[in-house]
Amino acid sequence: MDPVLVKRPFFLPYMAFRDYGDYCDVFGNLLAVLFGIANPAQEKRILDYLYQVGIAEPYPVRVLHPVIHPGSKDWREYYRNNNLNLPDQYHNGGIWPFVGGFYVAVLVKAGRLEEARRQLAKLAEVNHQGVSEEWEFNEWCHGRTGRPMGYPHQAWSAGMYVYAHRCVAEGRVLVFGDV
């Protein structure tokens, strides 16, 4: 195994024979923390890394870091289809408010309550902005500008905002049956 891999502060998105993804799948890492896959030291490294790279700027959260550019080994030409996976868009570094709700919950789980409150306010802001009306709960937004780009009125974005709000209000991560 390449010794460089040991130094990554996050779980890799994939490993294959003589190949690996050298970027952070944010949602996968958040789920690893939320469901206890990451041990406490890994949890700290993952959250510190996400903070250091500004994963929640301008809003929580960009779902991939760093983004994949044309010419990199992980670039696929089909990323150009409908311009969805260009850098900072859709799954390639776009902001997904749905995943932002998980980020807030993970911050609560880690005891980072002040940061969770701050990110919840930003999550409210991104969900509140709209093209045709306020509180659109968009599917995804541009990763650098925060501009709504996906479909509005997404139940998963609204639901995860409510969940994140409850986690912050109660100071704990809610599990099934608590909601």
- The domains found in the chain, sorted by start residue, are 12-170 (1.50.10.10)
Asked if 140 contacts 94 with a C-beta cutoff of 8 angstroms, the reply is yes
Question: What does the pLDDT average to over 161-170?
Answer: 98
Residue with the bigger pLDDT between 76 and 66: it is 66
Q: What is the pLDDT of residue 20?
A: 87
Output the pLDDT for position 111: 98
For residue 2, the model assigns a pLDDT of 47
Give me the pLDDT at residue 5, please: 53
Determine the pLDDT at residue 1: 45
**Whether residue 161 has pLDDT greater than 90:** yes
| Long-range CB contacts for residues 156-163, cutoff 8 Å, separation at least 24 | 156/98, 157/96, 157/97, 157/98, 157/101, 157/127, 158/127, 159/101, 160/97, 160/98, 160/99, 160/100, 160/101, 160/102, 161/97, 161/101, 161/123, 161/124, 161/127, 161/137, 163/101, 163/105
Reply yes or no on whether the pLDDT at 109 is more than 70: yes
pLDDT above 90 for 176: no
Pairing of strands 15-16, 64-65: unpaired
How far apart, in whole angstroms, are the C-alpha atoms of residue 151 and residue 47?
Answer: 29
* Residue listed under structure tokens 């550019």: 69
